[in-house]
């Protein structure tokens, strides 16, 4: 017996690493001090340019959006989803990303698939200015179904200690602005898949009724990063709080930044919910409140600022405004929760 006969192909692993190395090197920034393949990644903070840097770290996954990637045999977007999701998670505290690490686990390693996945990560890392510093590719026979894998991402960023954004200064009378999402992002897929594939009986190549694109194109739309559009606003210190609208929707995520005694009033009529969400709601018979807990409903990030700063914030986000950024509510006295009006 040997390792390969038990299901682990070391040669395939070496081939995957060979393909991944060049992709990762293309993301390296001046802070990277190590090569892919080291036991640990080395990163210097010397060039970060912060007097008192605070490191901000986060970890996340892509969820069952991966199931759609398996069905469509399209693997070059989920890696970007993972990076952008993690970038947004540390952005809400004012941090710019420094480096990213990934964990890719599968039952049988296919180097070409691993290369596609990592190519998406590398592309998103370059776009966000962070290094793909390293990761782990695990082959675990019998643990995953044939052709399936799981992904996890780990990100580290930095912010000046005096500029950490925590939402503590939020008070009644502040304004809440919503930035548009690019689709479902990486949440609500268990419900969406059940509606699309089971209730509607569609396949990944079917055209969604009333939407005009295929199921694969709609459900695999890349989770967008808000770093570039929010960086100028953050640098001007005009942001009092940021909420990344992920699992739990606006209902569960916005209260995470609200201090005691503050309620968020959200006007559902302030923005037009994209047709994809309405299709899912109608086809699945999903209650309105449940929709706002399961999906982002077209709002991927919420920006909180003082009423006096709204005009300047919108000016700095001019391009975003053209894409649908809009005032969606305000903070009022009350419990730490979201109220829809």
Instruction: Give domain limits for the chain.
Output: 4-163, 175-340
**What was the pLDDT predicted at 12?**
85
Binning pLDDT at 50, 70 and 90, where does residue 14 land?
confident
Q: Class assignment of domain 4-163?
A: alpha beta
CA–centroid distance for 143 within its chain: 26
pLDDT, one tens digit per residue, over 239-256 is: 999 999 999 999 999 999
pLDDT at 298 over 70: yes
Percent of the chain with pLDDT over 90: 89
**What was the pLDDT predicted at 59?**
97
Binning pLDDT at 50, 70 and 90, where does residue 38 land?
confident
Query: Considering the chain, what is the average pLDDT of its residues?
Result: 95
pLDDT, one tens digit per residue, over 327-341 is: 999 999 999 999 999
**What was the pLDDT predicted at 10?**
82
Q: Which CATH superfamily is domain 175-340 in?
A: PurM-like C-terminal domain (3.90.650.10)
Give the mean pLDDT of 213-228: 97
pLDDT, one tens digit per residue, over 308-327 is: 999 999 999 876 655 678 99
pTM more than 0.75: yes
């Amino acid at each position: 017996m040997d390792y390969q006969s038990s299901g682990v192909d070391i040669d395939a692993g070496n081939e995957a690493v060979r393909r991944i190395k060049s992709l990762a090197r293309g993301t390296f920034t001046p802070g990277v001090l190590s090569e892919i393949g080291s036991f640990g990644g080395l990163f210097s903070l010397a060039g970060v340019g912060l007097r008192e840097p605070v490191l901000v770290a986060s970890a996340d996954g892509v969820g069952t959006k991966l199931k759609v990637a398996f069905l469509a045999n399209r693997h070059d977007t989920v890696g970007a989803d993972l990076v952008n999701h993690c970038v947004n998670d540390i952005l809400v505290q004012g941090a710019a990303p420094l480096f990213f690490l990934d964990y890719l686990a599968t039952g049988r390693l296919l180097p070409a698939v691993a290369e596609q996945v990592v190519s998406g990560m590398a592309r998103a890392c370059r776009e966000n200015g962070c290094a793909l510093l390293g990761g782990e590719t695990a082959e675990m026979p019998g643990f995953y179904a044939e052709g399936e894998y799981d992904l996890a991402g780990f990100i580290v960023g930095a912010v000046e200690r005096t500029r950490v954004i925590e939402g503590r200064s939020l008070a009644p009378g502040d304004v809440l602005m919503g930035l548009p999402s690019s689709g479902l992002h990486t949440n609500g897929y268990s419900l969406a898949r059940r509606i699309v594939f089971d209730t509607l009986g569609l396949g990944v190549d079917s055209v969604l009724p009333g939407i005009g694109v295929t199921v694969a194109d709609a459900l695999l739309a890349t989770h967008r990063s808000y770093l570039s559009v929010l960086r100028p606003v953050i640098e001007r210190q005009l942001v009092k709080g940021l909420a990344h609208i992920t699992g739990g929707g606006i209902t569960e995520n916005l209260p995470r930044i609200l201090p005691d005694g503050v309620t968020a009033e959200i006007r559902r009529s302030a923005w037009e919910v994209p047709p994809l969400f309405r299709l899912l709601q109608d086809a699945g018979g999903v209650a309105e409140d449940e929709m706002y807990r399961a999906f982002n409903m077209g709002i991927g990030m919420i920006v909180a600022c003082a009423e006096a700063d709204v005009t300047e914030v919108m000016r700095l986000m001019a391009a975003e405004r053209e894409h649908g950024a809009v005032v969606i509510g305000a903070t009022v006295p009350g419990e730490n929760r979201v109220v829809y009006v």
